[in-house]
Amino acid sequence: MDQPATGLRERKKTRTKTTIQQHALRLFKEQGYQATTVEQVAAAAEVAPSTVFRYFPTKEDLAVLDDYHSMGDSLGAAIASQPDGPPIDVLRGALRDVFAAMSPQDRAARYERDLVMLTIPEVWAANLGMIAKSRRLLGDALQARWAGSRIVADAVIGVGLGALLDWAQDPQGDPVEALDQAFGRLAEFLS
């Protein structure tokens, strides 16, 4: 069955927004945030500057990654679908499932997204709210299965951030593997 016109239109809008942000992040990485202009982003994305501003009212909005290759909803669902076990083991399984379900292109885009966020101060600053939101969502997902597990979510956020910061210094490895190893060490420490 054909998709209604609004479905197609919404998918096209989402693709356009993603393409614009993808080029913005690439330019931020290549030439720096301050040196990148909205006009350069528009040219790279092959859209008019007015189109960039339609999706991103300010240049700073190009650096906010809340909707760019997000995995918040899928991670919450993956946590809920994991078999019983200790919270960190459940989280490790959920992360493996979420990343295994991603296409190679989406996984690469997610890695690039995280690398840009961790290495460009302006992008990092623009996403502090997203990190706080992720902490809350992870806490809610764990709390739904284990009362009092919000402290585990805080530990996981800290350990995960540390693992990703280490990975960003040498991004040749797999960040999912780095996270899994770090969470495994946390689980051992908590045992």
Residues 57 and 9 in one domain: yes
What are the tens digits of pLDDT across the range 131-187? 899 899 999 988 888 888 889 999 999 999 999 999 999 888 899 999 999 999 999
- The CA distance from 154 to 135, in Å, is 7
Domain ranges, residue 101:
72-190
Could you write out the DSSP letters of every residue in 62-127? GG--TTSS--HHHHHHHHHHSPSS-HHHHHHHHHHHHHHHS-HHHHHHHHHHHHHHHH-HHHHHHT
Residues 90 and 148 in one domain: yes
What single letter denotes the amino acid at residue 186? L
Residues 29 and 83 in one domain: no
pLDDT on residue 4: 47
Say if CB 87 and CB 149 are below 8 A apart: yes
Q: What residues of the chain score a pLDDT lower than 50?
A: 1-4
Last residue of some domain: 41, 63, 85? 63
Last residue of some domain: 63, 87, 111? 63
Residues 30 and 115 in one domain: no
User: Among residues 109, 122, 106, which one has the least CA distance to residue 61?
Assistant: 122
What single letter denotes the amino acid at residue 78? A
In the chain, what are the helix, strand and coil shares in percent, each to the nearest 5?
75, 0, 25
Could you write out the DSSP letters of every residue in 33-80? TTT--HHHHHHHHTS-HHHHHHH-SSGGGGG--TTSS--HHHHHHHHH
